[in-house]
Structure 1
């Protein structure tokens, strides 16, 4: 009788050790490894170790090769594998690996990099259970599995295990524990696993209902036109019926938010399409696991007019937690869902604070007993020129790391700017951008930033050696940096950071042209910048062009009051050979304003009193909005520019206004005087306001293309990186990208990183890393 030997018996058994880096904890990676290894006929084990996954796998070489190839190719959807190393053991596999394959407990140590997974929207499988009357998790607001659920908001540290999350206080019942231990179950090592018998539960205040009764009470309040506070994934939210004008007004009053648009949560994509004109890119963003708020043109429909306050875009998003799904399914109507806070204050995450601060301004608080460790607002995105563009990077995206074009030789903390604040921790070749904090303009928000930073450094297990900060000494972020020794501080110019952020995100290596259009940033010459053309690398930059200057009459007053900025251009536009707008043609503006204000402003401008000069695209938008009678006062940052864009969108395409580019002090300067002169003349002639607004947008696009052409002639550089808050304007950004591409440029716009000040810290980190690398001789190729 002939014996038959198996392939494992004929091939030599080898033992390989794999180390997998990236976002590989909290995304079902260990269960995936178990199933893959079993399918490949391997034995061994897998465990979390520090911030990585370590695998010991024994088997024949062909099986190990197959396993290695599929380890990345078939990884869970939410995993992001950035590197895999494998080493063959020196001893025979039989000596060190028992039979079978095991998922082991976590170990300390491992990689110095620790990728914390973002929170994941409820998956289709869990959603099916949520609404299946026969399932034991039917209508359970905390259903989750390895493919979905809270992650970053509940993690206290890595390795990612239940005891290091806020779920550690909830002891699994026998049924959940069996699922957790079953390799064939999709809840195998799902750390937040829970059910009604052993997990978190809802509570309704002030009356004290629990569970399903609490949810019913909250829904009854909403049906009756009420406003409630709901404890979401990353903090408390204010919720009301988006079709009820009175309820929406109450939300605005509770937040102290007079006019800024509010986001609307809808049950499904079909409902979203009924409220907004969604392109293919928009739908892809809307349904992505991050479930961000998507800004898109509003359709006429049932929303209360107070939701969008007259602006053409609406922010729509889908339910991303089981609790949101229950609310939307039961109520069958769109809901305003916005952060639970007063304007300019951080979102509430503490239960006692919610009852104290939100209870008095709502009809009740729907809470639960799973703590929120990290404050995460909802992310906001929009499509620009057919590409995704992030407006606010928070829940669903943070804290997924981003690459750095030049690795940081030592850990760096980049502190960002003042508005739309974020921080970034750079360690080696990766950067972790912290969640959106808000505007650092009060002690409460600043304290929230410091707590968020402390937690990030603890979870990342990193101690920064250097701090990068903005040039402006009065930013609270700069004052935080001043605590560091002078030799450990790296000052970065605001607009260099803006364009470097776009370049770094897209992996640009050589020199590039940077176009930075925003509100204000302190320049090297002591004036305020905001309309800049640069030749840049990650280590240095040279200013090649700019917008013409005008005085900020009253300083910060001119930022809050576009009418005051318009006076700056009328009475004090930079003399570049052509006069500014004729005061007689600007008679409508002057007649609207108090005579005393006009007289005092003119004296201040003439004498240079509290009227610093600014070459700012954002302030030019403000001035045009005021000259056209669209907006004299900003109730929130960027309102005038948003309303100017809204007027332009209602009109459509048109030819540019008058404009010119001149040479001054070795730089190319877009002279706004001819443009503004035609703005006031066109209005005096009775041309439609929307047509003038549309022509203004086309003017800036044409001028930008010429400025870049002049810069390219000087430098030979054809890659243009666009950044700055003005490029949140979809109409302008699309027109500029189109004009540049027609001129033969490669035009890059921020996509994963906001073009507004939320991206500043990432740009600072990229610059600081490159400068440090250049200083110690280990610089990567950044062209400078």
Structure 2
């Protein structure tokens, strides 16, 4: 029996070879009809034997390309007698624009195995071509100007395909069918190598480049770049989403020079290694970490590094981890495997590891334009390797951590049972490889712009059932970041056809994002403004990605967030749903002398906690602990500031509590990047220690978790010369114990058993493991951020969901 079916699929179905998959599948069932891209996804109209059509639909779902994601599938069966369409075979038709929810654009995808094989095949016409790609890999989001995702709407539109590329592009049986970035050496983008012609660098590259005039060299740009790097030089290399600053990670002088030139801090650099085997030489690697490293997103993965490795200590100073990634573009592979001799592909890579850090200065956005890169990076880079394929949407590398799973014994009155805690992917920076893939919300939402926070900023747009989060913007503390924010907002609004009616923003009156929201509302009086409390947004960001709508126990621990009482929150125990929250408990308030300066100078928080704990009796301790490290006049100034409440806002911050302990045990007095003191404390923790310190929770509402006893016992341990590794572990265990105790109090009173952990403090793997273990063994269900960062890079999602609930 013959039938007609119309199928519309919304999700990630464009730019991944989905239409040729449908074309070949339909032909295998001898069906007639067509498939096309539209603004909303992929539309299929098919005619033929009804049993075959039904099997065809099942095969679409079961055999779809690996990068496909279906969010909505609608199937309509019109009356066959009334249908007048005439088909001759099955065809792929031109894209069309439609109204409604736009199709999801695929993130940029790492080089596939087929293209990698061709890249080093001397008989292939794309041999050593640094822009090789197909429908299964290559740039997507970074080159898209508009939708539908067709070449004319990308930055590849200026490259007219040659006859052979055109043949591939139009052949449904070819894997480059409608691969929009399709190109070859005859018709596609080209590399160019630039070096300062007035002051060309020479080995051993003891000085950085100068802001001179750079000359272009077209001959063997990759080979020349490799030579520069091998001799200790620094190269600015243009990738998919922006420039990297690269050097040989085993060359200590090169890494130190890059660090001095770029940021003069201890913030770890990312390293790229040629293959998994090389990563195993330098890092311990689990099966789950291996899978993430090799995933199409190819993020930077934080890995436990081995001892006595040849990678420079300056790559990740005072840190037990390396941020490692595999090559994800043809150019990256060529840097490692470009044949420097007559060998078509060297067996031994040219480098074991390359530093690949963002091409920016002073926390500005990553440079994406050639002229911009030369202007801003020439004081750092000795040479530039760039190309003429424009980047429309700059995207930095994503950073993730895999928290290993574990088996726990759960005891009850009647029996014991094993429960497995699965490994968790924790996203620290969500950008290339993940963006702009939306988060499916499962329900229609009004069109909202959630402006995000001040640090690690992202913003979030909503459209239909999707939340569309921007890539990592960064800290909103310079005009370049503000321009990047506005540029990205304009692009994503255009791409996803979003016209926000609601503006959600943080409560903090001095955030740039708050001022931006007010500016929008001033110029557009019809817009609705909804302020959202920072820590409520943290909790709801996690609830939203897990589909939680009921009340939960929300533990929001971070460094800074504006509270409803005007104080700085950050150690919060909440009872929350998607609309409202109750502050059930919090860490006691202590002064934060110098406000934000206290985050850069953790010793100030150590001083604050000593005064809070010992009162007038703190003076002797202060002198004993700090006299050798901090000048007396600085100590006296801070003490006066706190005594007279001068620029010393009160804070309940757990992040600042970590800073205080880090300083008090001599781990870190000055932080060169945000969270460094807490990171150092985590690095010190003894994994075999499960002891805790005592603490009190005072009566009242909200309850207050008192830190005094914790500080006293830490000081006693330090006096007794207990190893700092044990003190650190005991402190981590104690924080986990405060969470368990508070959760049990909430459970007893409100019968809640779902615990949501969010906030930057929960990027601490040691703390997360100990906390999850305690809660799980005690019968709680634990939820962590997995699709968005637990740090402030995730709060825009929470803001959007809360705003939707209030609308």
Could you say which TM-score interval applies, normalised by the shorter chain?
Answer: over 0.9
Q: How do 1:612-623 and structure 2 match up within 5 A?
A: 612-623=649-660
| Alpha-carbon distance in structure 2 between the residues aligned to 1:63 and 1:483 | 57
Q: Is the 8 A contact 1:49 1:111 kept in 2?
A: no
Q: Is the 8 A contact 2:248 2:351 kept in 1?
A: no
Residue matched to 1:232? 239
Q: Does residue 1:281 correspond to 2:288, yes or no?
A: yes
| Alpha-carbon distance in structure 1 between the residues aligned to 2:14 and 2:770 | 42
| Alpha-carbon distance in structure 2 between the residues aligned to 1:93 and 1:82 | 30
Q: How do 1:447-486 and structure 2 match up within 5 A?
A: 447-485=483-521
| Alpha-carbon distance in structure 2 between the residues aligned to 1:731 and 1:261 | 19
Q: Is the 8 A contact 1:586 1:627 kept in 2?
A: no
User: How far apart are residue 663 of structure 1 and its match?
Assistant: 2.5
Q: Aligned with 2:373: secondary structure?
A: helix
After TM superposition, the score normalised by the length of structure 2 is 0.91
| Alpha-carbon distance in structure 1 between the residues aligned to 2:76 and 2:14 | 21
| 1:277-302 per-position Cα deviation (integer Å, ceiling 9, x unaligned) | 11122111111100000001111211
Q: Aligned with 1:370: secondary structure?
A: coil
| Alpha-carbon distance in structure 2 between the residues aligned to 1:513 and 1:65 | 45
Which of residues 342, 352, 358 in structure 2 aligns to 1:339? 358
Which of residues 693, 697, 707 in structure 2 aligns to 1:672? 707
Residue matched to 1:547? 587
Q: Aligned with 2:683: secondary structure?
A: helix
Q: Does residue 1:500 correspond to 2:536, yes or no?
A: no
Q: Is the 8 A contact 2:607 2:622 kept in 1?
A: no
Q: Does residue 1:98 correspond to 2:87, yes or no?
A: yes
Residue matched to 1:562? 602
| Alpha-carbon distance in structure 1 between the residues aligned to 2:796 and 2:529 | 14
Q: Does residue 1:388 correspond to 2:388, yes or no?
A: no
Q: Aligned with 1:430: secondary structure?
A: strand
Residue matched to 1:777? none
Q: How do 1:628-667 and structure 2 match up within 5 A?
A: 628-648=665-685, 651-667=686-702
Q: How do 1:213-228 and structure 2 match up within 5 A?
A: 213-228=220-235
User: How far apart are residue 721 of structure 1 and its match?
Assistant: 0.5
Q: Does residue 1:520 correspond to 2:560, yes or no?
A: yes
Q: Is the 8 A contact 2:693 2:730 kept in 1?
A: no
Q: Aligned with 1:192: secondary structure?
A: coil
| Alpha-carbon distance in structure 2 between the residues aligned to 1:292 and 1:654 | 32
Residue matched to 1:776? none
| Alpha-carbon distance in structure 1 between the residues aligned to 2:701 and 2:220 | 72
Residue matched to 1:4? none
Q: Is the 8 A contact 1:154 1:372 kept in 2?
A: yes
Q: Does residue 1:762 correspond to 2:797, yes or no?
A: yes
Worse-matched range after superposition: 154-163 or 202-211: 202-211
Residue matched to 2:784? 749
Residue matched to 2:305? 298
Q: Is the 8 A contact 1:563 1:589 kept in 2?
A: no
Worse-matched range after superposition: 234-243 or 212-221: 212-221
| Alpha-carbon distance in structure 1 between the residues aligned to 2:615 and 2:738 | 19
User: What 5-or-longer segments of structure 1 have no aligned partner?
Assistant: 1-10, 773-784
Q: Does residue 1:691 correspond to 2:726, yes or no?
A: yes
Which of residues 177, 180, 190 in structure 1 aligns to 2:169? 180
Aligned residues between the structures: 754
User: How far apart are residue 110 of structure 1 and its match?
Assistant: 4.3
Which of residues 67, 71, 79 in structure 1 aligns to 2:60? 71
Which of residues 382, 392, 400 in structure 2 aligns to 1:363? 382
1:517–1:321 Cα change, 3 Å: same
Worse-matched range after superposition: 315-324 or 32-41: 32-41
| Alpha-carbon distance in structure 2 between the residues aligned to 1:310 and 1:601 | 28
Q: Aligned with 1:290: secondary structure?
A: coil
Which of residues 730, 752, 758 in structure 2 aligns to 1:723? 758
Which of residues 147, 150, 162 in structure 2 aligns to 1:161? 150
Q: Aligned with 1:111: secondary structure?
A: coil
Residue matched to 1:348? 367
Q: Aligned with 1:190: secondary structure?
A: coil
| Alpha-carbon distance in structure 1 between the residues aligned to 2:300 and 2:530 | 35
Q: Aligned with 1:662: secondary structure?
A: strand
| Alpha-carbon distance in structure 2 between the residues aligned to 1:766 and 1:72 | 30
| 1:24-65 per-position Cα deviation (integer Å, ceiling 9, x unaligned) | 111111111111111111111111111311111111101110
Q: Is the 8 A contact 1:43 1:58 kept in 2?
A: yes
Which of residues 416, 420, 441 in structure 1 aligns to 2:452? 416
| Alpha-carbon distance in structure 1 between the residues aligned to 2:540 and 2:83 | 53
After TM superposition, the score normalised by the length of structure 1 is 0.94
